[in-house]
């Protein structure tokens, strides 16, 4: 083993990989293959197709040779943006074995390979570097943000998009992708709801598993990539929606609301996890051994590695949790973080901590082992380079997928007969700051998205209309009130002048038009990380613009672009139809136009409730019942009633839901099923997202939500067509996580709904025998 070196992939000939039925500490499944007669490398096979024991032996060999400094190097991730300030120093550090991973924001595969070469050929042990990157909703092919795509209620679509992202990342030399974002989003003030899959743990878990499948789709091949489940955990509960804050979240809610999406990702064999910025019950997650070790490792048997979030190890000092960087490193390592993202605390302090006996070498070794295991697992030692790819091409099939994603993720909130649009129209006014701004369409995490790839709404409409139709496109105002005065450098006056002219132009275009389309929303820089807001309205002067145009009384469709479910009562009230389009990505205009003209049926459903106003925050459909149902602060009825609940979304036709029946399952001992007949009673073909909700009427362990989504099916029906939709009422559907963390299914009474959205329809009663 000691002669082994990654450069040549020299495998000891005496090593014939053992073939355990399970690989990767019992968590990762690998195909069982016959024992190879010759070493893996000589048959062109990768390490990950060999046995886990064999990987562990490789690691043992390396650990035996590594100095403490080299070990800490493996636990150190640096940022390419910082590194760019002094490449020579960074190269020297790599040669010394002090860089385990990069956050690689640069689209420079040649430089990436050069740095990798330093590690593989010029460092003592030749351990390759892991290049990680935040590609959350697409690399070059930018798809809708998570909050949008989750509204498609289609894990398959999610999987496809992440597969594309993985392929594009691979071309840029990205081995490790910081997705999926698994935080459950219940507070629209928090900017990062944009990246999430909304407020439902069941949908969130399906989407997270699907994303892992997509990102790690090459996992059994010679060379693969690692996904990263983030942010573990409770980050979305930050108090007041204020980013990076404390979270006061108890175990019951963690177990049943926040952990399921992570657990689903682990079950899907996600290779890495990122610990989050927030505290849980007073302990910053970067130091939270209970969750990082007891839950993640001991209970879930996760054997990949944990990376702390950006500077979160150093942040322990800022929290006032650690006295200094050394204590921060100690706490973070001991809690279960294996790699330190950019704070440098591990590298700069742990050597001394180990020699002073405050940290055991075994603790360091354990973290190094986990990091090396993933590097080996993905075949990085075998093929550390990407060799030559210069850029990511835009491919027709990927673009078509992006267009489909947009069409399936937009949610038709209201429609008073204005949509679908007729093409037989003479003049349309498209008004608003989101009408023709390609940057805004890319969304909050499109690091590698290119504005020139974007089909804006203006371009999408032009593409869908004949040349005879006049399309006037007017911005009207900016979306960010801070931008004009800052840009012009002369205070509010310029803003006012700009506004007056913009408004006049908008009103004159609207007056001349037969139909007005408003493209409004919130500026993308006010969403995503650090994008918390204290308002849920339109940003800048858009509300005034909207009001002025609405005064004209023209037929009006409002398209809302946002990273959160905005509360826009005036828009809902005054528009003929409202479509929430989120941040749709490069095919924004094309996909929206498909839906506007009815070329594709609207089928998106809210994955996060839309509130009437910010005072209701947080409000989600799956909250607990209270001990005094129907009482409490119901003045004006506004506090408890969302404007549009989770699962809501209109179509261009209407569906009748028959009563829910409970029927025997197929065959003896089979679980019962809930069945309802769905009929398309409207004039058009449509796609209906049929949803199954349950409520356990009494539970000794804790209060279960008033309703929980536990299944859905998208069905296409022609006018007059009916179909029975059945859901099996098995333990998976009825159960919950008990306080011990085990899945539990209680005997007793359940209410079962089959409905078009949350909190709608009449339930059937079902008694479940244990
Ligand atoms: C974010 C993570 C991200 C990381 C690396 C942090 O600030 O919270 O989501 O993966 O930066 O860019």
Ligand 1: centre distance to CA 176 (Å): 13
Average pLDDT of the residues in 519-544:
95
Ligand 1 binding pocket includes 309 (Cβ within 6 Å): yes
Q: How confident is the model at residue 40 (pLDDT cuts 50, 70, 90)?
A: very low
Q: What is the pLDDT of residue 25?
A: 25
The reported pLDDT for the residue numbered 35 is 30
Please give the Cα distance from 348 to 494 (Å, whole number): 50
Contact 569, 613 (CB under 8 A): yes
Q: Report residue 302: phi and psi, to 5°.
A: -75, 130
- The torsion defined by the Cα of 444, 449, 453 and 455, in degrees rounded to 10, comes to -10
Closest atom of ligand 1 to CA, residue 228: 10
Q: Give tens-digit pLDDT for 751-763.
A: 999 999 999 999 9
pLDDT digits (tens, 9 = 90+) for 628-644: 876 555 555 567 899 99
User: Whose CA is closest to atom 12 on ligand 1?
Assistant: 134
> Please, are residues 586 and 442 in contact by the beta-carbon 8 Å criterion?
yes
Query: Is pLDDT of 32 > 70?
Result: no
Mean pLDDT over all residues of the chain? 91
| Residue 161 host element (H or E) | helix 155-171
Place of tokens 């590594």: 66
Residue 26 has pLDDT above 70, yes or no: no
The pLDDT value recorded for residue 638 is 65
Over range 301-317, report the average pLDDT.
98
Whether the CB of 447 sits within 6 Å of ligand 1 = no
Q: Which two tokens stand for residue 471?
A: 């399309």
Asked whether the beta carbons of 401 and 409 are under 8 A apart, the reply is no
Q: Does the structure show a pLDDT above 50 at 485? A: no
Distance CA 587, CA 683 (A): 29
Calculate how far, in angstroms, residue 620's C-alpha sits from the geometric centre of ligand 1: 26
Strands 661-663 and 470-474: unpaired
Q: Are 333 and 359 in contact (CB under 8 A)?
A: yes
> Who has greater pLDDT, 591 or 666?
591
Ligand 1 pocket mutation pick from 177, 183, 234, 529 by most atoms within 8 angstroms of CB: 529
Instruction: Say yes or no to pLDDT of 122 above 90.
Output: yes
- Which ligand 1 atom is nearest residue 195's CA? 9
- Fill in the DSSP letter of residue 235: G
Quote the ligand 1 centre to 230 CA distance (angstroms).
9
Of the candidates 19, 22, 20, 18, the one whose C-alpha atom is nearest the C-alpha of residue 269 is: 22
Q: How far is the CA of 695 from the centre of ligand 1 (A)?
A: 36
**Res 728 pLDDT > 50:** yes
Residue percentage of the chain with pLDDT more than 90:
86
Q: Which two tokens stand for residue 204?
A: 């969130």
Distance CA 704, CA 744 (A): 12
Measured in Å, residue 531 CA sits from the centre of ligand 1 at 13
Q: Which residue of 78, 278, 310 sits with most ligand 1 atoms within 8 Å of its CB, as the best mutation to test the pocket?
A: 310
529 pocket-lining for ligand 1 (C-beta < 6 Å): yes
pLDDT at residue 252 is higher than 70: yes
Question: In 605-677, which residue ranges form alpha helices assigned H by DSSP?
Answer: none
The residue whose C-alpha atom lies closest to atom 5 belonging to ligand 1 is 310
308 CA → ligand 1 middle, Å: 9
- 654 alpha carbon, distance to own chain's centre: 31
Strand locations in 522-654, DSSP E? 556-561, 577-580
Which ligand 1 atom sits nearest the alpha carbon of residue 181? 9
Atom 2 of ligand 1: nearest residue by CA position: 309
pLDDT of residue 636: 53
Give the pLDDT band (50/70/90) at residue 114. very high
Instruction: Tell how far the Cα of 187 is from the centroid of ligand 1, in angstroms.
Output: 19
| DSSP code of residue 295 | I
pLDDT value at position 480?
Answer: 78
Beta-sheet strand order (sheet of 283-284): 246-247, 279-280, 283-284
317-339 as b/e: b if 16+ CB within 10 A = bebebbeebbbbbbbbbebbbbb
Q: How many CA atoms lie within 13 A of 712 on its CB side?
A: 30
Name the nearest CA neighbour of 210 among 140, 153, 133, 139: 153
Active-site residue set: 309
Q: What pLDDT score does 639 carry?
A: 75
Q: What is the biggest distance separating any 2 CA atoms in the chain, rounded to whole angstroms?
A: 84
Which atom belonging to ligand 1 lies closest to the Cα atom of 341?
Answer: 5
Q: In angstroms, rounded to a whole number, what is the distance separating the alpha carbons of residues 324 and 318? A: 9
The full length of the chain comes to: 770
Ligand 1 in reach of 103 Cβ (< 6 A): yes
Ligand 1 proximity of 230 Cβ (cutoff 6 Å): yes
* Residue 357 CB-half CA count within 13 A: 0
pLDDT of 488 above 60: no
Confidence grade of residue 228 (pLDDT, cut at 50, 70, 90):
very high
């Amino acid at each position: 083993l000691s002669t082994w070196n990654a450069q040549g992939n020299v495998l000891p000939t005496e090593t014939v990989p053992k073939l355990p039925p399970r690989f990767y500490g019992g968590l990762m499944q690998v195909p069982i293959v016959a024992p190879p007669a010759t070493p893996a490398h000589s048959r062109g096979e990768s390490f990950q197709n060999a046995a886990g024991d064999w990987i562990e032996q490789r690691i043992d060999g390396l650990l035996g040779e590594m100095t403490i400094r080299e070990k800490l190097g493996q636990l150190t991730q640096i940022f390419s943006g910082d590194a760019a300030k002094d490449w020579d120093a960074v190269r020297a550090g790599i040669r010394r074995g002090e860089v385990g991973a990069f956050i690689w924001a640069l689209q420079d595969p040649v430089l990436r390979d050069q740095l990798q070469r330093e590690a593989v050929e010029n460092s003592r042990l030749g351990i390759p570097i892991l290049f990680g990157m935040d590609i959350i909703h697409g690399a070059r092919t930018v798809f809708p943000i998570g909050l949008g795509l989750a509204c498609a209620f289609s894990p398959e679509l999610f999987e496809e998009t992440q597969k594309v992202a993985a392929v594009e990342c691979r071309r840029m030399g990205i081995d490790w992708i910081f997705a999926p974002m698994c935080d459950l989003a219940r507070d629209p003030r928090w900017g990062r709801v944009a990246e999430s899959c909304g407020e439902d743990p069941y949908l969130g878990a399906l989407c997270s598993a699907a994303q892992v499948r997509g990102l790690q789709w090459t996992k059994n091949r010679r060379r693969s990539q690692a996904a990263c489940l983030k942010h573990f955990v409770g980050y979305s509960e930050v108090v007041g929606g204020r980013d990076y804050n404390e979270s006061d979240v108890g175990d019951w809610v963690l177990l049943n609301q926040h952990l399921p999406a992570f657990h689903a990702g682990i079950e899907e064999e996600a290779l890495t996890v990122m610990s989050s910025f927030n505290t849980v019950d007073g302990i910053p997650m970067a130091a939270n051994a209970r969750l990082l070790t007891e839950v993640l490792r001991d209970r879930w048997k996760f054997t990949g590695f944990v990376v702390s979030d950006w500077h979160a190890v150093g942040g322990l000092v800022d929290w006032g949790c650690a006295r200094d960087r050394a204590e921060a490193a100690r706490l973070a390592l001991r809690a279960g973080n294996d790699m330190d993202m950019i704070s440098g605390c591990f590298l700069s302090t742990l050597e001394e901590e180990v020699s002073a006996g405050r940290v055991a070498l075994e603790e360091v070794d354990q973290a190094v082992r986990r990091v090396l295991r993933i590097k080996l697992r993905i075949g990085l030692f075998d093929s550390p380079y990407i060799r030559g790819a210069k850029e990511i091409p835009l491919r027709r099939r990927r673009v078509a997928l992006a267009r489909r994603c947009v069409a399936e993720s937009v949610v038709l909130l209201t429609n008073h007969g204005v949509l679908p649009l007729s093409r037989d129209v003479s003049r349309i006014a498209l008004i608003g700051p989101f009408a023709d701004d390609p940057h805004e369409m890319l969304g909050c995490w499109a690091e590698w998205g290119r504005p020139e790839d974007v089909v804006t709404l203006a371009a999408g409409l032009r593409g869908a209309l004949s040349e005879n139709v006049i399309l006037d496109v007017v911005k009207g105002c900016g979306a960010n009130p801070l931008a004009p005065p800052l840009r012009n450098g002369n205070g509010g006056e310029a803003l006012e002048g700009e506004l007056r002219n913009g408004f006049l132009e908008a009103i004159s275009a609207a007056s001349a038009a037969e139909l007005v389309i408003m493209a409004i929303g919130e500026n993308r820089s006010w969403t995503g990380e650090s994008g918390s807001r204290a308002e849920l309205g339109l940003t800048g002067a858009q509300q005034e613009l909207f009001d002025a145009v609405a005064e004209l009384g023209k037929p009006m469709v409002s398209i809302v672009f946002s990273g959160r479910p905005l509360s826009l009562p005036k828009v809902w009230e005054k528009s003929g139809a409202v479509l929430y389009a989120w941040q749709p990505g490069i095919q924004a205009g094309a996909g929206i136009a498909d839906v506007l003209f009815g070329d594709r049926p609207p089928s998106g459903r809210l994955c996060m409730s839309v509130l009437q106003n910010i005072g209701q925050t947080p409000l989600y459909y799956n909250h607990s019942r209270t001990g005094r149902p129907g009482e409490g602060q119901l003045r004006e009825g506004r506090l408890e009633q969302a404007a549009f609940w989770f699962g809501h979304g209109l179509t261009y036709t209407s569906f009748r839901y028959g009563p829910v029946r409970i029927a025997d399952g197929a065959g003896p001992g089979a679980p019962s099923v809930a069945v309802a007949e769905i009929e398309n009673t409207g004039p058009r073909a449509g796609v209906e997202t049929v949803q199954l909700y349950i409520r356990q009427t009494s539970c000794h362990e804790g209060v279960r939500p008033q309703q929980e989504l536990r299944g859905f099916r998208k069905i296409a029906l022609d006018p007059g067509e009916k179909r029975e939709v059945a859901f099996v009422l098995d333990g998976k559907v009825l159960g919950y996580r008990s306080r011990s963390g085990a899945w539990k299914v209680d005997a007793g009474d359940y209410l079962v709904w089959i409905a078009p959205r949350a909190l709608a329809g009449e339930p059937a009663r079902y008694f479940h025998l244990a």
